[in-house]
Amino acid sequence: MRVTEIFHSIQGESSYAGRPCVFVRTTGCNLRCVWCDTEYSFHGGRDMEVEEIVAEVGRLGHGCRLVELTGGEPLLQKDAGELAAALLDRGYTVLCETSGSVPVDRVPGDVIKIVDFKCPGSGEVESNDWTNLDRLDPTRDELKFVIVDRADYEWAKAQFECRSLGRFVVHFSPEFEGMDRRALAEWILADGLPVRLQLQLHKFVWDPAARGV
Q: Is 44 inside any structural domain? A: yes
What pLDDT score was predicted for residue 138?
97
As a whole number of angstroms, the distance between CA 125 and CA 158 comes to 14
Q: Is 95 inside any structural domain? A: yes
Written as one string, the DSSP assignment of 13-70 is: SSTTTTSEEEEEEES--S---TT-S-GGGSS--EE--HHHHHHHHHHHHTT--EEEEE
Number of domains in the chain: 1
Q: Is 211 inside any structural domain? A: no
What pLDDT score was predicted for residue 128?
98
What pLDDT score was predicted for residue 98?
98
Q: Is 212 inside any structural domain? A: no
Contact in structure between 132 and 115 (CB atoms under 8 Å): yes
Q: Is 94 inside any structural domain? A: yes
Which residues of the chain fall below pLDDT 50?
none
Q: Is 158 inside any structural domain? A: yes
Evaluated on CA atoms 168, 120, 18, 87, the torsion sign reads: positive
Q: Is 58 inside any structural domain? A: yes
Q: What is the pTM of this model?
A: 0.95
Phi-psi region at 104: left, alpha or beta (left = phi > 0; alpha = psi -120 to 50): alpha
Per the omega criterion (within 30 degrees of 0), is the bond before 72 cis? yes
What pLDDT score was predicted for residue 85?
98
Q: Assign residue 156 the CATH number of its domain.
A: 3.20.20.70
Q: Going by DSSP bridges, is the β-strand pair 2-10/46-47 parallel, antiparallel, or unpaired?
A: antiparallel
Q: Is 213 inside any structural domain? A: no
Q: What is the pLDDT of residues 74-99, one digit of tens each?
A: 999 999 999 999 999 999 999 999 99
Domain assignment of residue 92, given as a range = 2-205
